[in-house]
Amino acid sequence: MRSMPNPEAITQAARLLRELALVAFPTETVYGLGADARSDKAVLKIFQAKGRPRFNPLIVHIGSLAAAKRLGRFDIRAGALAQAFWPGPLTLVVPMRTDAGLSDLVTAGLDTVALRVPGHKTAQRLLSEADMPVAAPSANVSGTVSPTRADHVAGAFGNQIAMILDAGPTDCGLESTIVSVAPGEPLRCLRPGSVTRAELAATTGETVADAEPGKISSPGQLRRHYAPAVALRLNAATAGPGEALIAFGPPPPGHKPFVNLSPAGDLGEAAAGLFAALRALDDAGIARAAVMPIPDAGLGEAINDRLSRASAPMDAT
């Protein structure tokens, strides 16, 4: 069932979560596919619906930093990041408390847990009414582009899930920034997102390192992950014969873009529309597209990360 996020629908969604059903809900980044994070039975349904490998851990969503501290251990850096960016598009990977009470499937057996307090009003209302930690990956079939609209979720799962809360297109359009905060380790950015490296560094006074290669099996680290069917050629000055053009800023003279991610060259606008644009190319049956260069600064790092994963060769894992 699909519903506007009115109070009755939120109450029903919270009840469905307590009954261990799956509920898709909007966050400011992408739509999530939620289940009670304390229940093996509920969390298993997420892995089955998505076709997600079991070794791939899930993000746990909670309503507040206080609730997060019941699940994970926050050092000074993690506390500062949570204060600065929660609620918002930041996920913190911290050591899990031994009494967290989460299903082992959520963490895939790791001794760390990924935590996020989303800023979207509907997500906040749902978390407060359900009053439980909610495990929620992006609500897409594993390996495909994340959903930024309820239509994308309905198209992937139809009646397989109990309820979809539809609050319209999401604001950020890219998945949350994931930062690992491990004792005695530098901060590591496991996935770039709307909270930029510069913002993380300014808050903690520490430079943010990259993920240790091969250390954590995060699908965000698989080379081809956000994968549309269309073959993408990146940093293209113009589209060649047989290629659709994905523009950013003014298109080259004489070229009519299939889509312009932001005619004004605004990175926020480009991020918000990127996944819907990739889906639109697939829906139109377009085989090849050329993408104009996106500056790599700030939010551009996250956009280019998703584009490079979307354009990696099909056989890459």
Return the residue of 138, 204, 262, 311 that touches ligand TXA, per CB under 6 A. Answer: 138
Residues within the interface to Mg ion (CB under 5 A): 138
Check binding of 116 to ligand TXA (CB under 6 A): yes
For ligand TXA, the closer of residues 25 and 258 by Cβ is 25
Stretch that binds ligand TXA, among 132-140, 154-162, 273-281, 305-313 (CB under 6 A): 132-140
Return the residue of 62, 68, 100, 113 that touches ligand TXA, per CB under 6 A. Answer: 113
User: Shortest gap between Cβ of 203 and ligand TXA (angstroms)?
Assistant: 19
Return the residue of 12, 29, 103, 148 that touches ligand TXA, per CB under 6 A. Answer: 29
Site residues for ligand TXA, window 47-106 (CB under 6 A)? Answer: 56-59, 91, 93
Stretch that binds ligand TXA, among 2-10, 22-30, 36-44, 291-299 (CB under 6 A): 22-30
For Mg ion, the closer of residues 80 and 229 by Cβ is 229
For Mg ion, the closer of residues 33 and 244 by Cβ is 33
Site residues for ligand TXA, window 262-291 (CB under 6 A)? Answer: none
Which of 12, 30, 10, 21 is CA-nearest to residue 49? 21
Check binding of 196 to ligand TXA (CB under 6 A): no
Answer with the entry of ligand TXA, Mg ion, none that 110 interacts with (C-beta below 5 to 8 A by kind): ligand TXA
3-state SS string over the chain? CEECCCHHHHHHHHHHHHCCCCEEECCCCCCEEEEECCCHHHHHHHHHHHCCCCCCCCEEECCCHHHHHCCECCCHHHHHHHHHHCCCCEEEEEEECCCCCCCHHHHCCCCEEEEECCCCHHHHHHHHHHCCCEECCECCCCCCCCCCCHHHHHHHHHHHCCEEECCCCCCCCCCCEEEECCCCCCCEEEECCCCCHHHHHHHHCCCCEECCCCCCCCHHHCCCCCCCCCEEECCCCCCCCCCEEEECCCCCCCCCCCEECCCCCCHHHHHHHHHHHHHHHHHCCCCEEEECCCCCCCCHHHHHHHHHHHHCCCCCC
Stretch that binds ligand TXA, among 111-119, 154-162, 259-267, 268-276 (CB under 6 A): 111-119
Answer with the entry of ligand TXA, Mg ion, none that 271 interacts with (C-beta below 5 to 8 A by kind): none
- Contact positions vs ligand TXA (CB under 6 A): 27, 29-30, 32, 56-59, 91, 93, 107, 110, 112-114, 116, 136-138, 175-176, 178, 190, 216, 218-220
